[in-house]
Amino acid sequence: MRAKLILLVAISLVLLCSCSSKKPIIPITSNFSADIRIEYEDFNCDGNIEFVNVSDFTVNITSPETLNGLKVDVNADKIDAEYKGLNCTNLYDFSSISMFLNAMKNVNFTTDFEYDNGKITFDDFEIDIDEKGFIKQIEFDEYDLKIYLSNHRII
């Protein structure tokens, strides 16, 4: 009887410790596509992203209607935009895409994170990751900017 009680207590301790511990996770930072929503102050836009890696991805905006068709292409840290035949090259500023690029660089070059309730906190932003490693949200509190990714697909 005493041996069963000790075994029961040991099993309970193992289960309690494993439920409350943080587990490491490696975020998926290449070869995926997803729906994207960008919220900046009172402005919102939706679209999709094809993310090959941190140096090669494309964002296509589908709404609002006034921006439908805007394509932002990132290639080797160079940001180009195309909209209704107009092309702008070598853009770089504090736009949401450049901030997203910088955030992904931080994630891409770090391989191990403490996964604490799905959140990883950096100095300037916080990333919310699901249990599969897909990034669900990047939030830049100082700039009132949130970028949401959903419906992830491996490409």
> Could you say which architecture CATH assigns to the domain 26-154?
Clam (2.50)
Highest mean pLDDT among 5-14, 43-52, 89-98: 43-52
C-alpha angle 94-30-57 in degrees, rounded to nearest 5: 45
pTM here is 0.78
What is the average pLDDT value for the chain, to the nearest integer?
Answer: 81
What are the extents of the domains in the chain?
A: 26-154
On the CB side of 47, how many CA atoms lie within 13 Å of its CA? 24
Q: Supply the pLDDT for residue 20.
A: 45
Q: Which residues contact 101 (CB under 8 A, 6 or more apart)?
A: 54, 74, 77, 79
Is residue 62 predicted with pLDDT exceeding 60?
yes
Judge residue 68's burial from the number of C-beta atoms within 10 Å of its C-beta, 0-12 exposed, 13-18 middle, 19 or more buried. Answer: middle
